[in-house]
Structure 1
Amino acid sequence: MIHHTIIPDTLKAVFFDMDGVLYDSMTNHAQTWVESFQAAGISFPAYDAYLNEGRTGPSTIEVAFEKYAHRPATEADIQKIYDHKTELMQSAPTPGIMPGMQNVVQQTMAAGFRVIVVTGSKQPSLISRLKKDFNIEDENVVSGFDVKKGKPDPEPYLMALKKANCEAGEALVIENAPLGVEASCGAGITTIAVNTGILEAEILSRAGAGMVLSGTQELADNWKSLIRQ
């Protein structure tokens, strides 16, 4: 059961991560990272894709080169691998919406809270669906196009606070990735993690999540009473 005490009393805005929170897209992301690195001669395990989820694409490539190629990635490396990944993502299976999340977003908006999506992604295939699937306008999205540092730096969540015109203590974050949790906690925002990937729940707790749920359906089942505490 979710403890109501975790929700700020003065809640004004809820920030949602996109991949693995709104869309069941992390399998595609992991697979396309593995394939695009493999084409560049780097063995990058799917587990690392989940560990690095939330980073901007170039940052993930830089981390992988340091760890597995033992050299810095060049601009050409970054461009080639990210272009290949984007190409693979375009032909990947269309990801479904995570269980219960349309209701969660709808209920949040109906309760009068500002909803902002905060993602490290620059993949147009999903960002372009937010309006149709969740009624989220482009102006309420912070994406990889907007940031210089990206998660795990608090920058994207600080940008979201600015967009929502609220303080950290008036917002709540729903994340599924350890680096995303680090970023939101670094911005001083209470964070609930939904463990929708292959990582151990402890990793999300250690990153700073105030609570770790087993998935989005558990969040959805409790959401209405939570935001009307």
Structure 2
Amino acid sequence: MLKEKINLYLEKHGLGHFCPKAVLFDMDGVLYDSMPHHAIAWQESMARFGITMTAQDAYATEGARGIDTIRHFVKLQKGEDISLADAQTMYDVKTHIFHTMPEAPIFDGVLDVMELLAHHDITINVVTGSGQRPLIDRLLRDFGRFLSKEHIVTAYDVDRGKPYPDPYLMGLRKAGDLLPWEAMVVENAPLGVQSGASADIFTIGVNSGPLPDQVLYDAGAHIVYQKMTELRVALNDLF
């Protein structure tokens, strides 16, 4: 199935052999089972500022820069265009609440996928809407065998976050100035999928959250799996 979807992607873009040099992973909900914690932190922090945000809202806006999400909901519910500084202040509260919670576990299959990619000389890269220093430090701690700081894109590397293509275009640059068809994206959220697909990169959805698969397909995913372990099997077959 994966090979068939890749062939359709190649045909659409008028390309020949598919030989990826990099995989660009989202972080939350792809590498870490952290979204339940983020949903709680979003709800509690925004409530302090008079903003209503549900768990469904947290999943639907996952992947966007936190300050962009905050400005969106403040505009929607209060009709105000708040400054980036004010949004950052609110985001700092959300960050504090998140870091009072237990550390989110790594999803089963993640390290196996990275081992497989490294074996085939495919670089590991992370493109996240987060800018939280402790989370970036944890990426290097957990995946330092495969990942370097230079191959991480954060919220502060781009002016426009997901769903715009900018984060994944920056990911291509940091991966070695690659062309879109020289990489693959692994995402779990609609905004992230849209970002990867709009950058013309082959985009794989891993649906670790409560949204229907069709939401990811509608956002542009070329194929959707339920778990990273399923992706590991598919990549092994592909290679």
Q: TM-score range by the shorter chain?
A: over 0.9
Tell me by how many angstroms 1:38 deviates. Answer: 0.4
1:113 and 2:122 aligned? yes
Aligned partner of 1:194 among 201, 206, 227:
206
Cα contact 1:6–1:190 (8 A) shared by 2:
no
Listed as ranges, the matches of 1:34-53 within 5 Å are 34-53=43-62
Aligned counterparts of 1:139 and 1:199: Cα–Cα separation in 2: 32
The match for 2:160 is 149
Over the aligned positions, Cα root-mean-square deviation in angstroms equals 1.5
Corresponding position: 1:210 with 2:222: yes
Shift of 1:102: 0.9
Deviation at 1:79, TM superposition (A): 2.9
Deviation at residue 76 of structure 1 after TM alignment: 5.3
List runs of 5+ in structure 2 lacking aligned partners.
11-17
CA-CA distance at 1:13 after TM superposition: 1.1
Question: What secondary structure is seen at the aligned counterpart in 1 of 2:98?
Answer: helix
Q: Which residue of 2 aligns with 1:24?
A: 33
Q: Which moved more, 1:60-69 or 1:214-223?
A: 214-223
Residue in 2 aligned with 1:6? 5
Q: Which runs of 5+ in 1 are unaligned?
A: none
Instruction: Work out whether residues 25 and 186 of structure 2, in 8 Å CA contact, stay in contact via their aligned partners in 1.
Output: yes
Kindly indicate whether residue 95 of structure 2 is the aligned counterpart of residue 83 of structure 1: no
Q: What are the superposed Cα offsets for residues 119-167 of structure 1, whole Å, 9 maximum, x if unpaired?
A: 0111223211122212211111001121111111100111111122211
Contact 1:130 1:137 in 2 (8 A): no
Identity level (%): 42
Give the Cα–Cα distance (whole angstroms) in 2 for the partners of residues 183 and 63 of structure 1.
Answer: 18
Give 1:128's aligned residue.
137
Deviations 1:54-103 (A, max 9, x none): 11111000111122223323445413311101111221110000110011
Match of 1:172 in 2: 184
CA distance in 2, matches of 1:15, 1:90: 25
- Match for residue 33 of structure 1? 42
Alignment of 1:64-103 (within 5 A): 64-75=73-84, 77-103=86-112
Looking at structure 2, the residues matched to 69 and 100 of structure 1 have their Cα atoms a distance apart, in angstroms, of: 42
Which runs of structure 1 show a deviation greater than 6 angstroms over 4 or more consecutive aligned residues?
A: none
User: Would you say the 8 A contact 2:2–2:234 is kept in 1?
Assistant: no
Matched residue type, 1:225: D
Following superposition, the deviation at residue 109 of structure 1 comes to 1.4
Distance in 1 between the 2:189 and 2:78 partners?
Answer: 24
> Against the structure 1 CA distance between its residues 198 and 73, is the aligned structure 2 distance closer, same or farther, given a 3 Å change threshold?
farther
TM-score, structure 1 as length reference:
0.93
- State the AA in 2 paired with 1:218: E
Distance 2:24 2:183 in 1: 7
Amino acid at match of 2:105: G
